[in-house]
Chain A
Amino acid sequence: MCGIAGLIHRGKSSNVGEELQSMLQALKHRGPDSTGYALYSQNDGQNFIMRFKVGENVGEGSTSVNEDVSVYNERKKLVDKNLSELGATIVKEEQLTPYSYRYEIKYDKDLMDFSKKIESVEMVEILSIGKSLELIKDLGDAKTVSERYNLDKVKGTHGIGHARMATESGVDIKSAHPFWGYPFADVSVVHNGQLTNYWNNRRALENKGMRFMSECDSELIAVFLAEKMRNGATLEEGMKESLTGLDGVFTYFVATKDSLGMAKDTMAAKPLVLYESDDLVAMGSEEIAIRSILPQEITTYDPFDGEVKVWQI
């Protein structure tokens, strides 16, 4: 079933890492396999932040193939070599787990070429690129992942997250949400539902040069929106097109560096509860997610079928 949560502070920053952790932990019963965060944090905006993985987490019920850790180092060296060839400069690098890294890099050319080059290294996947976006996903519940990556101290304006129950694809990081809106900086998507025209859309999008890293149907939403925006559509226009372009049942959130949006399919088959005030929008699959950060009495509502909403920071 999966659980999704999102929030946006309008006009100020807050402790979004901790808030999103509380919301996702409240939804743990909807998806215990993996948890992901897309946090829009307070960075100086000068450099790109690239989060990438060079292998999978093979513990905690993973369906991934076990690999020797030494291959991770080899892949990392190849990534560094490719960055150098691309003309990118590594300003800062952090190894967060044996299989995942966070790089701050200077780069000013095309991100699609950049991504293709980096991901040409076997098993390497860019989880996100952006000047604000920090995308973290791993196996385990919200608290486990947050502690592993020290997310509870991340400050920012907004974020989206996902607690996943693996159904149509494996228990692994590549199938976990959020998905980066390749090749756009600072775009991320989380989804609750099932898409039934995944392969038709995937084939069409791959023919247009878009890339898929997993066989998770939710990835299609990120790629679908990215392709629309690449052709000039605004985020909201792309989201509205998705209501007819995507078959199935879905509620999804999409975030950019300065906005947060939600869309619900035309049958309203997947749940979503929304709280909206002048300075905060919080939403989740269940009200208990919102209550975990707003225990006082508030007014919430369910968006209707076929509804698309976008909020700016």
Chain B
Amino acid sequence: MANLKTSQKKTKAQSMGMHTEVLTGKTQQKFFNPDEAENFFYWGTYDVDFNKRTELDVKDMNCKEANKKIDELMSEGYGTIVIKNPQGKHSLGVGILNKLNLIFEGSLGYFGVGSIDGPMVRVNGRVGWSCAENMMAGKVVIEKNAGSCFGAAIRGGDLICKGSVGARTGIDQKGGSIIVGGDAGAFTGFMMQRGRIVVLGDVGINLGDSMYDGTIYIGGKIGSFGSDAVEAPMTKNDIDWLNRKLKVAEMNENFDVSKMTKVVSGKKLWNYDALEPTEKKGAI
């Protein structure tokens, strides 16, 4: 558990340069200490058995009650949980940090399956805004459409929507893959920093606006390019990766990925120059 007491002792983690703060007051912050076995335990996770299956009807539950019940079921070792009647409720299935087969028989509202690290999720319906926000790992498959900010700030994993998605898909994306079978709205890949976005259909205006890094592949028409988003040539590695990913995403395997448009950062915005802030001020 977190050490809430003042600590002047230099830990091994500090010696290793993992952090430099020496705590002088009461804190709830917990630093990783490789000497302590307990730190290899990922808090809030469970060893589950995928063959142990159960159903949970959340029709009359609010999101807190539903999420708590999911947590309880995982703690009992259930590795396959089918959620009945989600009916567009917000924030369902969030914060799951272990392997799990999680199936939603219906649609989710906002912030569905956010901040997850590892589960395999299937939503047999639609998802609202900010689905899988901050996802670290795992696979999420949406059978129908998705709202805006799909996969906002994801760090890893595969996030798949077989239908169309709204605006700002992959905003602030830091890793992982977002794959869309239909169309995507405006500002797709806005300020993305790493990872890949694949859209088989059309995209709206300002594609890849202010993207720092990462790669976007578009199969259909592009409304317009955003600031600093530029087209790049497709390589054999791109084509191989796309073919593999579309298979993983259960998408059309006959889709000719070689004809897709590849978009990357032009890296011409001010944040890529070598000027120091004082020099920049002078230049302005």
A interface with B by C-beta (< 8 Å): 266-269, 271, 273, 286-288, 290-291, 295, 297, 299-302, 304-306
Main SS at interface, chain A:
loop
Known: A290-B88, A302-B148. A267 touches B106 (CB 8 A): no
A288–B126 Cα distance when bound, in Å, is 12
Q: Which residue of A lies closest to B129 (CB)?
A: A271
Q: Which residue of B lies closest to A286 (CB)?
A: B109
Mark the stretch among B72-80, B152-160, B181-189 that contacts chain A.
B181-189
Complex contacts, B145 vs chain A, CB 8 Å: 299-302
Q: Which residue of A lies closest to B110 (CB)?
A: A286
Q: Which of A269, A300, A306 contacts B107 (CB 8 A)?
A: A300
Complex contacts, A302 vs chain B, CB 8 Å: 145-148, 165-166, 185
Known: A288-B109, A304-B185, A304-B186. A268 touches B88 (CB 8 A): no
Pairs A–B under 8 Å by Cβ, sample size 19 = A268-B186, A271-B128, A273-B128, A286-B90, A286-B109, A287-B107, A288-B88, A288-B89, A290-B88, A297-B105, A299-B126, A300-B144, A300-B145, A301-B164, A302-B147, A302-B185, A304-B167, A305-B167, A305-B205
Q: Which residue of B lies closest to A300 (CB)?
A: B126
How far, in Å, is B192 (CB) from chain A's closest CB?
17
Main SS at interface, chain B:
loop
Query: What 5 A-B pairs have minimum CB-CB distances, sorted nearest first?
Result: A287-B88, A268-B167, A302-B166, A305-B186, A301-B145
Q: Which residue of A lies closest to B168 (CB)?
A: A268
**Between A and B, how many residue pairs show CB distances below 8 Å?**
79
Complex contacts, B148 vs chain A, CB 8 Å: 268, 271, 302
Chain A proximity mask over B201-243: 1 for CB below 8 Å, otherwise 0: 0001100000000000000000000000000000000000000
A306–B148 Cα distance when bound, in Å, is 14
Q: Which of A273, A291, A295, A306 contacts B147 (CB 8 A)?
A: A273
Q: Which of A267, A290, A295, A301 contacts B187 (CB 8 A)?
A: A267
Question: CB distance A304 to B183 under 8 Å?
Answer: yes
A266–B204 Cα distance when bound, in Å, is 10
Q: Is B114's CB within 8 Å of the partner chain A?
A: no
A269–B148 Cα distance when bound, in Å, is 9
A273–B165 Cα distance when bound, in Å, is 12
Q: Is B67's CB within 8 Å of the partner chain A?
A: no
Q: Which of A269, A291, A305, A306 contacts B88 (CB 8 A)?
A: A291
Q: Which residue of A lies closest to B203 (CB)?
A: A304
Complex contacts, A299 vs chain B, CB 8 Å: 126, 144-145
A291–B164 Cα distance when bound, in Å, is 20
Known: A271-B129, A302-B147. 6 other contacts (CB 8 A): A268-B168, A286-B110, A287-B107, A291-B88, A300-B144, A302-B166
Complex contacts, B144 vs chain A, CB 8 Å: 299-301
Q: Which of A273, A290, A304, A305 has the most CB of B within 10 A?
A: A304
How far, in Å, is A76 (CB) from chain B's closest CB?
44
A291–B125 Cα distance when bound, in Å, is 12
Q: Which of B124, B126, B183, B205 contacts A287 (CB 8 A)?
A: B126
Q: Is B266's CB within 8 Å of the partner chain A?
A: no
Question: CB distance B186 to A287 under 8 Å?
Answer: no
How far, in Å, is A29 (CB) from chain B's closest CB?
9
